[in-house]
Amino acid sequence: MNSRYQLPTPLSGRIDSTSDQEAFRWHQIIKPINLNEPIQFEKTAINICFLGFCSDEGVKRNMGRVGAAKGPASIRKEMANWPANCLPHVQLFDAGDITCDDGNLEEAQEQLAVAVNKIHQAGLFTILLGGGHEIALGHFNGIRESLDEAPAIINFDAHLDLRPVIDKGSSGTMFNQIHRICEDKKEDFNYLCIGAQTYANTQSLFNKANEIGAQYILAKDISTSSYNKIEEQISNYIKDKNQIYLTICSDVLSAAHAPGVSAVQPFGLDPDMVLQLIKSIIHSGKLCSLDIAEVSPRFDADNRTAKLVAVYIYAVINSMIEQKLNQSY
């Protein structure tokens, strides 16, 4: 790794016991990983590695509200005190951060891909913490390199992020860029966007989605009464796919619950409904990697968005345990 890589900083938090594992919290069990060295660890049932992407250069280029570069630290702070109920099924690791503080997003995305590939090759499941949604390009490339094929994408997002690359990529172009990569490599491009807002996407973007075979479920069509139908749509999308890369842009959520995002959404989705859909994706057994993007602490009153995202991560890990245990019966 190069100078963009920062080693993990130990987390701190409440300590109820230093000997009773049943009283431990996440900050007591998360182990550091140095990506400058070979990754070695004793494997357990589920091995998860966090990696931050401290960038909002893509958001800046997309004329959004900057601040997401500090998102990984904010999320980690909220995760630190979660009870370590995942033991003994899960080991948690932290590989630190890839940074972008000089405007060279392309190099940062390349380094992110290298880091993701190395972590996957070692046999760890990655949960990436953003950072702007430009995290998706580097994350996808790293997964694709480790799998030697393009994973299918599910994106919870108010935006399709299929904008054309005029000069440089941004936080609004990634899935257009990924489509080009798949075309160049003659691989299938599979993309489902859940929660797209009609007021946040031009007709040109919907036309682009239709042209390249991208699928989308509009936010206005997602409600309690339509939940079973939405879950069926997602299940139908997943059933013939080998691997699912799940990316969550925090702006898919209602501003009442997630004010600290790069592009606030007054009519965003209900967090609990999004979580139930995420769990259904995990229970498919096909999830290969996950990231959560665009938590922006400077706009995050009472750290509400970071707390919500940290709860999502806690729930994701518990759902992975449930899926693994059910699979073994």
Q: What is the mean pLDDT of each run of 10 residues along the chain (329 residues)?
A: 91 97 97 97 95 97 95 98 96 98 97 98 98 98 96 98 96 98 97 98 98 98 97 98 98 96 95 98 97 97 97 98 82
Q: Which helix (H) or strand (E) holds 217?
A: strand 215-218
Residues 6+ apart with CB under 8 A from 81: 13, 14, 25, 26, 27
The pLDDT assigned to 327 comes to 77
Rounded CA separation 182/222 (Å)? 29
Return the half-sphere exposure (C-beta side, CA atoms, 13 A cut-off) of residue 17: 8
Rounded CA separation 280/229 (Å)? 13
The pLDDT assigned to 164 comes to 97
The pLDDT assigned to 33 comes to 97
Tokens of 12: 């701190």
By CB neighbour count within 10 A (0-12 exposed, 13-18 middle, 19+ buried), where does 280 fall? middle
Give the angle subtended at the CA of 195 by the CAs of 76 and 52, to the nearest 5°.
Answer: 20
pLDDT digits (tens, 9 = 90+) for 173-201: 999 999 999 999 999 999 999 999 999 99
- CA-to-CA dists, residue 98 to 7, 80, 95, 110, 309, angstroms: 9, 20, 9, 10, 20
Rounded CA separation 53/68 (Å)? 9
Total-model pTM: 0.97
36-44 contacts, C-beta under 8 A, 24 or more apart: 36/1, 36/5, 39/118, 39/119, 39/122, 39/124, 41/91, 41/93, 41/122, 43/91, 43/123, 44/88, 44/89, 44/90, 44/91
Residues 4 and 96: beta-carbon distance below 8 Å: no
Q: Which helix (H) or strand (E) holds 244?
A: strand 244-249
Domain 5-328, CATH homologous superfamily name and number: Ureohydrolase domain (3.40.800.10)
pLDDT digits (tens, 9 = 90+) for 91-110: 999 999 999 999 999 999 99
DSSP letters spanning 106-117: HHHHHHHHHHHH
Tokens of 198: 């009609």
Residues 59 and 68: beta-carbon distance below 8 Å: yes
pLDDT, mean over the chain: 96
Phi, psi (rounded to 5 degrees) for 142: -70, -40
The pLDDT assigned to 328 comes to 61
Task: Give the sign of the dihedral formed by CA 290, CA 293, CA 298, CA 303.
Answer: negative
Rounded CA separation 329/10 (Å)? 37
Closest CA to 162 of 105, 220, 111, 211: 211
pLDDT digits (tens, 9 = 90+) for 250-290: 999 999 999 999 999 999 999 999 999 999 999 999 999 99
CA gyration radius for the chain?
A: 18
Domain ranges of the chain: 5-328
